[in-house]
Amino acid sequence: MARRPILRARGHWVRVDPDEAATLADLVGGQRSAEPAEVLAAALTGERPVEGLGSVEVVADVGFGGVLADDMGLGKTLQTIALLADRPGDRPHLVVCPVSVVGNWERELARFAPDLEVVRHHGPERPTEVGGFPPGAVVVTSYGLLRLDARLLTEVDWDVVVLDEAQQVKNHLTQAAKAARRLTATVRLALTGTPVENRLAELWSILDLTTPGLLGPFTRFRREYAAPIERWQDPDATRRLRLLTGPFVLRRTKADPTIAPDLPDKTELTVTCALTREQATLYQAAVDEVFASELGEGIERRGRILKLLTELKQICNHPAQYLGERGPLPGRSGKLARTLELLTEVVETGEGALSFTQYRRMGELLAGYLAATLEVPDVPFLHGGVARSGREAMVEAFQHDDAASPLLLVSLKAGGTGLNLTRATHVLHFDRWWNPAVEDQATDRAYRIGQHRAVLVHKLVTAGTLEERIARMIDDKRALADAVLGEGEAWLTELDDDALRELVALRPGGADDLDPLTTDVEVPA
């Protein structure tokens, strides 16, 4: 090597320290293993200390993934499409989503990135060989097919893998999560407005998919982070976890002052409804029957409590749902009477409304009754039993067909995610899921980017019942609700007899005699 201090390199004269040059020459071609933490630090800071040289520049081509955790309705799909459109196009991309939003992804891709080829991996005509996924194409499939076609999908060398509504893989032990881990990709991106619905183990599962190893083994994560934070609200563990995950969890909320101007107002109202005498009688009888004998222990006890809770919620909805009847419906339910009042005003003012229920039977009763009583076109009911093409037709008609019904009934699980239903300016929760995150996801079908009018949310609760007391708990402890109430009714099975009795007891003043607001209407089968 020349010992001259000035050399011409790549068209420029540079000064070189002969001693440093000798050190560099010794390092050329050498390799040294590094701990994952060292690699991560170098990639994030863009530099790494080298003995004898100090800090040197690091150019990382690691292929980090991440979580896009914006609130529902803030454009996660559009941001992802922009990423896909900007990729080199030398390999295919994969989007995994709930079956209910496969069509939505196809429409959004066609609208915002028409030059991208889209391959639907869904239905009997889906590709069966790797050659069916050409370079640069965006392949859209469902979580069900990710499990069923795991052998084919794991053979493909994907560029970007997108896991939409990633709470679907929040349990790392499920088949879908295991199949997602086996996918080969340069970048893995998870989309979810609720990265933690219930407990921190869900955050570990999602980040272990997008950035494997970041949070270490699950047992260590649970010991060092989950237990201290969830049990003791340890501020040091919380700070360390936030610092570690911050670069990989990108989150904006609708409360962000930079976003608020793009969204209209949202008003949430708890609408208290009185029970009819029939509802109160059925409610008290169901409670008395359970406590007339011992609840038992273990699985038997949990099963009996869940059965009671389900019965009480159905009675609060409508006696016909609880009794398995087709009708008559008017005059028997305070919720139904209030719903009719609210939706009558919506129809008369020419607005649109979504109504959510967690029960398919109740949705079917409501659909027939509302269509006949309000004299509107058939009120569609989007639930898990509706075929994909039917779901897409319902959404398209509600959003864009002025002649279609201004009302859309939606099953909370089938329609609580991934749909754009901004025609609605009213959202009615006929029965509560007792999980604020799930309820907010449903509301955000209407309250999202693209909504230009104020949204009014009505949450129906029956007075004097367990619904009212649980609603109060959710409102009082909303910050803790994700951790405490995230399992729906399951957490209630751990209550002792006295606490359970206090929860479900019917309070005085909960019942009232309601005059039928309409004449009896025959509900279609």
271, β-bridge pairs: 460
Q: What is the CATH number of the domain that holds 376?
A: 3.40.50.300
State how far the Cα of 123 lies from the Cα of 141, in Å rounded to an integer. Answer: 9
Residues 123-156: tens digit of each pLDDT = 888 999 999 999 999 999 999 999 999 999 999 9
- Whether residues 419 and 279 share a domain: the answer is yes
- Whether residues 317 and 243 share a domain: the answer is no
* Percentage of residues in the chain having pLDDT higher than 70: 80
Cβ distance 435 to 408 under 8 Å? no
Q: How confident is the model at residue 446 (pLDDT cuts 50, 70, 90)?
A: confident
- Whether residues 49 and 75 share a domain: the answer is no
pLDDT score, position 260:
61
Buried b (16+ CB within 10 A) or exposed e, 129-146: eeeebeebbbbbbbbebb
Higher pLDDT pick, 169 / 476: 169
Upstream peptide bond of 380 is cis (omega within 30 degrees of 0): no
Residue 52 falls within a domain, yes or no? yes
Cβ distance 492 to 305 under 8 Å? yes
Tokens of 7: 């050399």
pLDDT score, position 397:
92
Mean per-residue pLDDT, 494-499: 81
- Whether residues 217 and 309 share a domain: the answer is no
Residue type, 485: L
- Whether residues 232 and 319 share a domain: the answer is no
pLDDT score, position 171:
87
59, β-bridge pairs: none
* Percentage of residues in the chain having pLDDT higher than 90: 39
- Whether residues 102 and 141 share a domain: the answer is yes
**Any idea which residue has 């800090």 for tokens?**
55
Residue type, 402: D
State how far the Cα of 182 lies from the Cα of 153, in Å rounded to an integer. Answer: 9
Residue 489 falls within a domain, yes or no? yes
Q: What phi and psi values does residue 286 have, to the nearest 5 degrees?
A: -65, -40
Total residue count of the chain as it appears in this document: 525
Q: CA nearest 460: which of 491, 484, 426? A: 426
**CA dihedral of residues 449, 201, 496, 313 (deg, nearest 10):** 30
pLDDT at residue 6 greater than cutoff 70: yes
Residue 519 falls within a domain, yes or no? no
Pairing of strands 138-142, 118-120: parallel
Residues 275-315: tens digit of each pLDDT = 999 999 999 999 999 998 888 888 888 899 989 999 999 99
- Whether residues 49 and 109 share a domain: the answer is no
pLDDT score, position 63:
65
Q: How confident is the model at residue 521 (pLDDT cuts 50, 70, 90)?
A: very low
- Whether residues 295 and 386 share a domain: the answer is yes
pLDDT score, position 24:
65
Is the four-CA dihedral 151, 154, 156, 162 of positive or negative sign? positive
Is the four-CA dihedral 428, 433, 438, 440 of positive or negative sign? positive
Q: Is 263 exposed, middle or buried (0-12, 13-18, 19+ CB in 10 A)?
A: buried
pLDDT score, position 52:
62
State how far the Cα of 472 lies from the Cα of 263, in Å rounded to an integer. Answer: 28
Residue 255 falls within a domain, yes or no? no
Residue-wise DSSP of 435-471:
-HHHHHHHHTTTSSTT--S-EEEEEEEETTSHHHHHH
Residue 513 falls within a domain, yes or no? no
Residue 258 falls within a domain, yes or no? no
Residues 175-190: tens digit of each pLDDT = 999 999 999 999 999 9
- Whether residues 418 and 311 share a domain: the answer is yes
- Whether residues 241 and 292 share a domain: the answer is no
Q: Is 518 exposed, middle or buried (0-12, 13-18, 19+ CB in 10 A)?
A: middle
Highest mean pLDDT among 26-40, 81-95, 409-423, 466-480 belongs to: 81-95
Cβ distance 446 to 420 under 8 Å? no
Provide the domain count of the chain.
3
- Whether residues 278 and 405 share a domain: the answer is yes
DSSP run (H or E) holding 351: none
State how far the Cα of 83 lies from the Cα of 143, in Å rounded to an integer. Answer: 22
Tokens of 390: 């039917």
State how far the Cα of 364 lies from the Cα of 382, in Å rounded to an integer. Answer: 10
Residue 212 falls within a domain, yes or no? yes
Cβ distance 245 to 229 under 8 Å? no
Tokens of 425: 């300016």
Cβ distance 115 to 109 under 8 Å? no
State how far the Cα of 141 lies from the Cα of 122, in Å rounded to an integer. Answer: 6
Q: What is the CATH number of the domain that holds 82?
A: 3.40.50.10810
Q: How confident is the model at residue 476 (pLDDT cuts 50, 70, 90)?
A: low
The residue from 203, 219, 250 where one domain ends is: 250
Cβ distance 299 to 292 under 8 Å? no
State how far the Cα of 311 lies from the Cα of 210, in Å rounded to an integer. Answer: 41
Q: Is 182 exposed, middle or buried (0-12, 13-18, 19+ CB in 10 A)?
A: exposed
State how far the Cα of 72 lies from the Cα of 85, in Å rounded to an integer. Answer: 22
Parent domain of 427: 263-504
Residue 299 falls within a domain, yes or no? yes
pTM: 0.58
State how far the Cα of 64 lies from the Cα of 221, in Å rounded to an integer. Answer: 20
- Whether residues 459 and 479 share a domain: the answer is yes
